[in-house]
Amino acid sequence: MEATLIKRKEHREYIICFSIAVWFALSLFAACLFPHCFAYRRSSAHFFGMNSVFTHWSLLWFLPVGIVLGFFIGLAFDRFIIVKNSAYDSTEVPLSKPARWGKILLSWRGLVFLAAVIGLYFLGTFLRPFWYRANILGWYPGLSFYQPFPVRNMAIAHLYHKKYRKLPPSAVKALCKTATEDPELEMRRNAIFLLRLIGDSRSVDALISVLEKDPDIYMRGNAASDLRYIGNRKAIPALLKALKDPNNHTYVRGQAARALAMLKESNATKPLLNILKNETDNDLRVSAAFALGKLGEASAAEDIIGAYDNATELRVQEDYIRILGEFNDMRTIRTLLKATAARERVLRDAAKEALWKILGRLLNVKGDNISAFIHVKGMNPNARDEYGNTHLHWAVQNSYRENAAIVTVDWRKSGSKEKAGSKFSGLSAIKGPENIIKFLLDNGADPNLKNNNHKTPLDYAIYKNGKKIAALLRAHGGKTGKELEKETDRKK
Write the pLDDT tens digit of every residue in 201-244: 788 888 899 998 888 888 898 899 888 888 888 889 999 999 98
For the domain bounded by 162-297, which CATH number is listed? 1.25.10.10
User: Phi and psi for 94 in degrees, rounded to 5?
Assistant: -65, 145
Write the pLDDT tens digit of every residue in 358-406: 776 766 655 444 434 555 555 567 777 777 888 788 788 776 666 566 6
Residue 83: the pLDDT is 58
pLDDT surpassing 50 at residue 422: no
Write the pLDDT tens digit of every residue in 132-153: 666 666 667 777 776 777 777 7
Residue 286: the pLDDT is 93
Question: Residue 30 and residue 120: Cα distance in Å, rounded?
Answer: 12
Question: Residue 436 and residue 267: Cα distance in Å, rounded?
Answer: 45
Lowest mean pLDDT among 139-143, 205-209, 248-252, 267-271: 139-143
Please tell me which residue, 57 or 217, carries the higher pLDDT value.
217
Determine contact, residues 249/220, Cβ cutoff 8 Å.
yes
DSSP 87-145: -TT-SEEE--HHHHHHHHHTSHHHHHHHHHHHHHHHHHHHHHHHHHT--BTTB-GGG-T
Sequence ranges of the domains in the chain: 5-132, 162-297
Question: Residue 369 and residue 293: Cα distance in Å, rounded?
Answer: 22
Question: Residue 291 and residue 460: Cα distance in Å, rounded?
Answer: 43
Query: Partners of 407 in the beta sheet?
Result: 374, 429
User: Phi and psi for 297 in degrees, rounded to 5?
Assistant: -80, 95
Determine contact, residues 288/282, Cβ cutoff 8 Å.
no
Residue 317: the pLDDT is 92
Question: Residue 52 and residue 488: Cα distance in Å, rounded?
Answer: 71
Residue 406: the pLDDT is 66
DSSP 304-350: HHHHHHH--SHHHHHHHHHHGGG--BHHHHHHHHHHTT-SSHHHHHH
Residue 414: the pLDDT is 45
Q: Which amino acid is at 171?
A: A
Most confident stretch, 41-45, 79-83, 450-454: 450-454
Supply the pTM of this predicted model: 0.61
Going by their DSSP bridges, the two strands 427-431 and 374-376 should be labelled as: unpaired
